[in-house]
A and B are shown apart, each in its own frame.
Chain A
């Protein structure tokens, strides 16, 4: 089974260890993982900024890079949502490439979905004792229905999932929104931090680096240097 790893631009640039954690999880489950080196970005920043043509050319680039893979996995609900919902569903709707993009969507999985639904992982390699609160990122949750998977995987690692209030509420990241309307974005992150602290957990996990950077950035600005902010892949791969 040849599995393409879509690293995502944020993981590549900011948190390579999330990429390696993903790689470990896939390889330890017996997947042959390929990492096309020419990959850059799924195009979502352009797409959501109104630059439709740019988004289309990046979609074609992604399609070409992962054409030979049986599956593609990304440690991000947001990029996966872009590929699975918006390539065939919008950008190439009615175009000759639509069917190819539909095929890409069908073999493309967000990491927790792939581990739970396809690999049916029963024991993740990592061990983690302690309470973790989970932030549901919007795209993963509402575009893909990712909800129980990451929690189940965290429990497999031994973690106790302590739910925060409004765990499904947007953290305020929203890609370029976080810079364009920074004050509103910050307030949303602030609200999220209140709920994280109230949960009592000292670790907050999520499945999208954008949200995690936003949350971590606000926690640190508030002077909280203790609460750990991690991608669930790091925890379940044993890199926490």
Chain B
């Protein structure tokens, strides 16, 4: 997927003015937030499970290399081939090559965000291989030729009317907006593909080191069709998805569907271990597992390693007031919302990520709902530090911070500037006591007034307070000569 994150500000403003998107987002928000809230109170030790899960993810990440090698060993033992892809291109090359070597013409694919990351569909099609998305949301988006806007509910930005229009063209049937009928149409169209595909590609929510198992969590059962029907099954996933044991999965699966959409458990947990064995009635003859780095190792050992705990539930975006108002496309790459604002700058380069680290008020909701306790605001702040240190923010903003910094460290100067500023702004406020336009703060005054100051600063008024209890004696001896005074 092409990176468009540098246009975040402009695109997000457009999304705010898109009435269809706004309606769809409001509808989705209620669902995600309310259902999760209900689902987590069903468990009385939710917080303990979060703590345990965060620790288990940290423990795995601290020994990532060892667990990956263990996974490779066990998967290989069961007849799978493990491929290592350092880059997005390498991941595509591996899969295209497997398809070519086996004369594959048609591929069915279940949902995989990593495949979006590496541009797999584009690359497969360029190699003359037809690739069919089988997750309902992804299927809709493939018809619309759009990228997903959410990692769990990729077509959340679409209304059923928009889906009906797409289906009418694609399926050549009379238009309906009844969801069960639309779903049936998709099932019928996909059924054919499931049975005739030469190869299936799935993602993996987790891969399990002790058994060599890859695992998908779905609600539609499409992953089962993709992983078991074709003769060749390929898995594409990130190296951070490895977990040590099946028991660890039991912990994480308590968190994942509840955090994602308030489900106690997903409809299908599909565990695939190796190829079809002797006596097995079904299963693939070849199984290939492509473990992708594509930027993940940049987190390993860094001060942002916690990000790799992520289990891709989407709770951070579902609860993010920024995401809720603009949707996922504005973020300009595969991963939207707070998790995307951390992943994208590291995966595609901070210089290509524009405003993403700043696309947060640091309200903290993402961190509170994250099932593995990723301190997302702290991580975004670290990225802001990199932007600041590398002069990646606009010149005016950097100068404003420098000027502010100069003043706040010089109390006398600061007091004088504040006294003048307070008076000027009070005068600007006029009799309504609100400022309609303020130079340098257009972002504020475009949509809001600025309440005018009272006209004198607290420190001025306090100094002249008639009955100052304790009076001047209470004032610090550092009066006018603060600790920072005179420092560069």
Also in contact, A64 and B478, with CB within 8 A (given A52-B385, A142-B364): yes
Q: How far is the CB of A203 from chain B (nearest CB, A)?
A: 15
How far does the alpha carbon of A182 sit from the alpha carbon of B414 in the complex, in Å? Answer: 26
Interface of B (DSSP majority class): helix
Also in contact, A40 and B411, with CB within 8 A (given A17-B454, A60-B483): yes
A61 touches B358 (CB 8 A): no
B361 touches A177 (CB 8 A): yes
Contacts of B385 in A (CB 8 A): 50-52
Q: List the 9 closest A-B pairs by CB distance, nearest first.
A: A174-B361, A182-B443, A186-B447, A50-B388, A38-B482, A50-B384, A217-B448, A170-B363, A36-B476
Also in contact, A14 and B487, with CB within 8 A (given A37-B475, A142-B368, A174-B361): no
Q: How far is the CB of A228 from chain B (nearest CB, A)?
A: 12
A183 touches B446 (CB 8 A): yes
Contacts of B1 in A (CB 8 A): none
Q: B446: nearest residue on chain A (CB-CB)?
A: A182
| Interface hub of B321, B448, B463 (most chain A Cβ within 10 A) | B448
Which of B49-57, B68-76, B202-210, B397-405 lies at the interface?
A: B397-405
Our pick among B13, B405, B476 for the contact of A38 (Cβ within 8 Å) is B476
A37 touches B358 (CB 8 A): no
How far does the alpha carbon of A142 sit from the alpha carbon of B366 in the complex, in Å? Answer: 11
Q: A169 at interface (Cβ–Cβ under 8 A)?
A: yes
How far does the alpha carbon of A33 sit from the alpha carbon of B465 in the complex, in Å? Answer: 14
B421 touches A220 (CB 8 A): no
What sequence of 0s and 1s flags, for each residue 181-200 of chain B, a beta carbon within 8 Å of any chain A beta carbon? Answer: 00000000000000000000
Count, chain B residues at interface, CB 8 A: 78
Can you report 22 A-B residue pairs in the complex whose CB atoms are below 8 A from each other? A13-B421, A19-B458, A40-B414, A43-B408, A46-B401, A46-B405, A50-B386, A50-B387, A64-B478, A142-B368, A174-B361, A174-B363, A177-B358, A179-B443, A181-B443, A182-B442, A183-B446, A184-B326, A185-B361, A214-B448, A217-B444, A218-B449
B325 touches A184 (CB 8 A): yes
Interface of A (DSSP majority class): helix
Q: How far is the CB of A125 from chain B (nearest CB, A)?
A: 15
Q: How many A-B residue pairs lie within 8 Å, measured between CB atoms? A: 240
Q: B286 at interface (Cβ–Cβ under 8 A)?
A: no
Q: A43: nearest residue on chain B (CB-CB)?
A: B408
CB within 8 Å of A: which residues of B? 9, 12-13, 16, 321-322, 325-326, 355, 358-365, 367-368, 378, 381, 383-389, 393, 397, 401, 404-405, 407-409, 411, 414-415, 418, 421-422, 432, 434, 440-444, 446-451, 453-454, 456-459, 461-463, 469-470, 474-476, 478-485, 487
Also in contact, A14 and B478, with CB within 8 A (given A45-B404, A183-B13): no
Q: A12 at interface (Cβ–Cβ under 8 A)?
A: yes
A10-63: which residues lie under 8 A (CB-CB) from chain B?
11-17, 19-20, 23, 27, 32-41, 43, 45-52, 54, 57-58, 60-61
Q: How far is the CB of A94 from chain B (nearest CB, A)?
A: 12
Contacts of A39 in B (CB 8 A): 411, 482
What sequence of 0s and 1s flags, for each residue 178-198 of chain A, a beta carbon within 8 Å of any chain B beta carbon? Answer: 111111111111110000000
How far does the alpha carbon of A37 sit from the alpha carbon of B443 in the complex, in Å? Answer: 32
Also in contact, A16 and B361, with CB within 8 A (given A33-B469, A37-B411): no
CB within 8 Å of B: which residues of A? 7, 9, 11-17, 19-20, 23, 27, 32-41, 43, 45-52, 54, 57-58, 60-61, 64-65, 90, 138-139, 142-143, 169-170, 172-191, 213-214, 216-218, 220-221, 225, 229
A14 touches B405 (CB 8 A): no
Q: A7: nearest residue on chain B (CB-CB)?
A: B458
A16 touches B325 (CB 8 A): no
Contacts of A217 in B (CB 8 A): 434, 444, 448-451
Contacts of A36 in B (CB 8 A): 475-476, 478
Beyond the given A50-B386, A170-B363, A183-B12, please list 13 additional residue pairs across the A-B interface where CB-CB is below 8 A: A12-B457, A32-B474, A34-B476, A38-B411, A38-B478, A41-B408, A90-B378, A138-B361, A138-B365, A172-B361, A182-B447, A184-B322, A190-B447
Also in contact, A170 and B401, with CB within 8 A (given A50-B389, A184-B322, A218-B448): no
B478 touches A49 (CB 8 A): no
B474 touches A33 (CB 8 A): yes
B451 touches A181 (CB 8 A): no
